[in-house]
Each structure stands twice: as structure tokens, then as C-alpha cells.
Amino acid sequence: MVRVARALFPGLPPRPSQISPFGLQVDMRRGDRVMDDDCTIFVRNQEDGVVPASGVVVIADDTDGVQFTQAEQGGAGELYYSSDEFGQPEGVIVTPQVPGYWVTHAEDACDGSTVICPEIDRPGEAGWWHRLLEDHAVDPQRGAGIRIGIVDSGFAPQAGLEHVRFLSRPGERHDEQPRGPFWRHGEVVCRVIGDRAAPACCAPIAPGADLLFASASFTRRTLRHKRFLFPAALEPCELDLDPTHVADAVSRMVLEERVHLINLSLGTFDELPDETGLAEAIELAWSEGVLVVCAAGNEPYDRAAFPAVRDDCVGVGAIGRRGWGPPEGLGRFSEALSEEDGEVHGEAIFYSPLSAYGDGVDVVGPGVSILVAREGRPAFDVTGTSFAAPIVTGLLAVDLAGDEAYLAMPADARRAAHARQRLADLCIRTGVDEEWEGHGLPWLCDTRP
């Protein structure tokens, strides 16, 4: 079991010197496998059909906040956990492994209980985060002329992402076929910025931008620094990232591909050894006019993870909108745990209780129950700073695409500084403490409230 406290209880155990993609539905580490599973939870849809899912059991603790423990997957639509070891749970968070259903929180997690996952059915309704685009939302070419690099876990390109250019390492082959129906971390980051087949509720932020993708996933043959890897607890092991691959990809995107922005939805809360080369690669990016936008991390620490915490990066924390999604959705559970509230243009928002805050958090972005599509249909809702970061990256790309002064600048540190300052100028205050939200929330409008 791992204890994930509320933001008011930040004294969490240190991370190992490893790096991981951020953005798990609940960021946690797997404890010892429960061998004596004696409680079964059934996962169904509204028509009583089986929904394959993973699950996290939620246990309240008055001293340490909220605890989570991984449930074991059994047969299709069945989750197991041991009540003897963990006591009576407060609830369970269920993550459907197939498209079309909301991540669901159920208060009743007793033996034999059934969790109903509501369907995602909002194809014609824009998400609340799309309001940040203002008039740009009607332009299908928004972001055109800006080159965005993304380094993340590998995936197979599918509908809506045909324009993404994959950069391969020598001898590497990216996935040609999807590995099951569940979303891939790198795939979702790309879809948030540029899914050209998505319906209105999942519309990309910068569909006109040029996207370049590099996988930092590893194989036994390519792995160089095994002890620096961070295992993603709720995802298959192939989502682990090698920081040396991240560094190599950043350098290539800067020197060979001449990108304007790089999105890194990954990091570590511990110091990363210099031998990985990632710090040097980020310094190179800044010197060549490339701004690196990073996820702040999905633990309520009072500082952002590396590399988001660096002065030459933009660290992005996550916020949500109160009342968004179904009553049983993860978004509603997150808002109930949040201790920081704000308001933007009359809409109540909250700071994600699983987001880092404080030092290194420069801005915030929507990162709770964000909808993404698959094959042109609403498919998944995702939560984490991993998905707040590409929303911010996309918003900045849309703005810079119309900034003639920026486009005319030489590729040096002054251009990176201009982009960073422009992002700060776009931000509005939400009412959340400045220590938590940095400059605030980017909003592409001429009038600030």
C-alpha cells in the first residue's frame, strides 16, 4: 500500500532516482501482491454488460489523509482485494480498460458490490477547457507554423494522428498495431494537442501545429540505465521510460528538427544523476530557442518534479472544474478532496489534490477528467498533470503562431525567454493561492477579468 495524503499532509516518502510518464489515473506504487483476496467487486455498464477494468481501493485515514491500494484483476469485469489486510474501504476507483466509459468512483466497495461505469456521451458538447481557446476554437488550423516535439511512451499511430511524424532511434521500430483497447500515455498526450479526427467534446488544442514524436520506451537491448527507471504502477512495464532516451530525443528535436516547443509529461521527484544527460539537453534547448513545457507531477509535494522544477522549463500543475462529469466520476471524487478553490469567468475550479504545487509550478492547466477520443469517438477521460501540460503547450502554440515578433526571432535563448514571458502574459488568476498556481491559467483572450 502507498499513502497518498491530501495537499495538507505533504510528508510523503521520497521517490527513487528514476523517471516515469506522469498521468496515471491515480498515481501510486503497487504494494505487495495480495494473495488472500476475499472481496469481489463487479464492474458493469448501464445495460448490465461486463466492463473490463482495473481498480484502486480507497481507504480513509484521519491521520494520513487518503490511502490507495491496487485491486487485483480477476475475470472480465471483476476486481479482488483483501479486507483483512486493509480494513473496510471507503470506496473504489475503477478505470475501464475499454473505450467509452468514465473513470468511476463508488463509495460502496464491499464484497459482491457492483460498480456501474456511465458511458461517455458528449460528442457535440465542447469540454470546459476548450473555453481557454476563445475565438481560436473555430479555426481548424490553429497552431499552424509551430513545431511541437513530444517525448513519451511509444504507441501505434491511429486515426486522427496520421500527421504525427515519428522519430526513431537507430534500429528502433514504433508499434505498428495497437496493444489492446486501453489508451497509451504517449498517444493521449498527442491526442490532447493534435487529434484531427476528434469530436467537439475531445477537440485538440492545436490541430494545425506540426507534431514530432519520439519514444523514450526501452527494450532490454536499448536500456542503458536500468536503476534510473520508474515503474508505472498502474500500466504495463513497456510504459517505463529511459531518461537517456529522453535526453537524446530532446537534443535531436532541438538540433535536427528545429522545433519551437517540447512537451515532457514525465519526471521524477528525486535527483536524477547527471550521467543521463537530460539536464544538459534541456539547457541546450533553451540556448537554441526551444521552450520545454513539463508536467509538475502527480504527488502533492510542495515542489514540482524534475525537470519541471528547473528554471529553464515551464512546470504545469493541474486544476479541475467543479461539477464536471457524472456524479460518480473521478472528477467529482477529486474535487471533494481538494483544499484549494478558485473561479474563472464564473466557473468554480479546484486545484487537483494529486498535483504537485509550490516551487517549480509556473502555470496551471486543466487536468482532471479530460476527454480524449479514439477513432473519432469519445473514448476515455484522463486525469493528471501529464494532460494539463499538453493543453498548456497547445495554447501557447496557438498564441505563438500569430506572434510575428516571435516568428521572426533567431533560434536562441531570447526566443525561449520570449515564449516563456508570453505564456505568463496569457495567464489569469483563478483565486487559488499564488504559491499553488504560479502565474495562473493561460487564456487566449484580449481582455483579462
Options 251, 386, 399, 439, the catalytic residue? 386
CA pair distance 303, 361, nearest whole angstrom: 7
Are 313 and 294 a contacting pair, CB within 8 Å? yes
Active-site position among 105, 130, 136, 185: 185
Spatial CB neighbours of 109, under 8 Å, sequence gap ≥ 6: 39, 41, 57, 58, 81, 89, 90, 91, 92
Classify residue 298 by burial, with Cβ atoms within 10 Å: 0-12, 13-18, 19+.
Answer: buried
**Packing angle between helix 385-401 and helix 413-426, nearest 10 degrees?**
110
User: Annotated catalytic residue: which of 152, 195, 210, 312?
Assistant: 152
Neighbouring C-beta atoms of residue 405, cutoff 10 Å:
10
Catalytic residue list contains 386: yes
Residue tagged 476486481 (cell numbers): 79
Active site residue 403: no
CA 374, CA 383: separation in Å to the nearest integer? Answer: 17
Spatial contact of 426 and 442, defined as CB atoms under 8 Å apart? yes
Q: Where are the beta strands (DSSP E) in 210-312?
A: 210-215, 261-264, 266-267, 291-295
Strand partners of residue 268: 306
C-beta of residue 428 within 8 angstroms of C-beta of residue 443: yes
Cα separation, 264 vs 105, whole angstroms: 29
* Whether 308 contacts 359, CB under 8 Å: no
Separation CA 2–CA 39 (nearest Å) = 20
| The amino acid at 84 | D
- In three-state secondary structure terms, 336 is helix
Q: Specify whether 215 is catalytic.
A: no
Pick the closest to residue 234 from 270, 183, 284 (CA basis). Answer: 183
- List residues with catalytic annotation: 152, 185, 386
